[in-house]
Chains A and B, each alone.
Chain A
Amino acid sequence: GAVVSQHPSWVICKSGTSVKIECRSLDFQATTMFWYRQFPKQSLMLMATSNEGSKATYEQGVEKDKFLINHASLTLSTLTVTSAHPEDSSFYICSASGGNYGYTFGSGTRLTVV
Chain B
Amino acid sequence: AQSVTQLDSHVSVSEGTPVLLRCNYSSSYSPSLFWYVQHPNKGLQLLLKYTSAATLVKGINGFEAEFKKSETSFHLTKPSAHMSDAAEYFCVVSVGATGGTSYGKLTFGQGTILTVHP
Residues of A within 8 A of B (CB): 4, 6, 31-32, 34, 42-46, 49, 91, 93, 95, 97, 99-108, 110
Please determine whether A93 and B43 come into contact, CB atoms closer than 8 angstroms: yes
Given A49-B105, A105-B44, A100–B99 Cβ distance below 8 Å?
Answer: yes
| Least CB distance, A99 to chain B, in whole angstroms | 8
Q: Does B100 contact A (CB under 8 A)?
A: yes
| Least CB distance, B88 to chain A, in whole angstroms | 9
Within 8 A of A (CB), among B92-113: 94, 97, 99-101, 103, 105-106, 108-111
Given A44-B90, A103-B106, A108–B42 Cβ distance below 8 Å?
Answer: yes
Q: Does B46 contact A (CB under 8 A)?
A: yes
Q: How many residues of B contact A (CB 8 A)?
A: 22
Residues of B within 8 A of A (CB): 34, 36, 41-46, 49, 90, 94, 97, 99-101, 103, 105-106, 108-111
> For chain A, what secondary structure do more than half of its interface residues adopt (helix, strand, loop), or is it mixed?
strand
Residue of B nearest to A43 (CB): B108
Which of B34, B45, B103, B106 is the most central at the interface, judged by chain A CB atoms within 10 Å of its CB? B103
- 20 pairs of residues in contact across A and B, judged by CB atoms under 8 Å: A31-B103, A34-B105, A42-B110, A43-B90, A43-B109, A45-B108, A46-B105, A93-B43, A95-B106, A102-B34, A102-B49, A102-B103, A103-B46, A105-B36, A105-B43, A105-B45, A106-B43, A107-B42, A108-B42, A110-B41
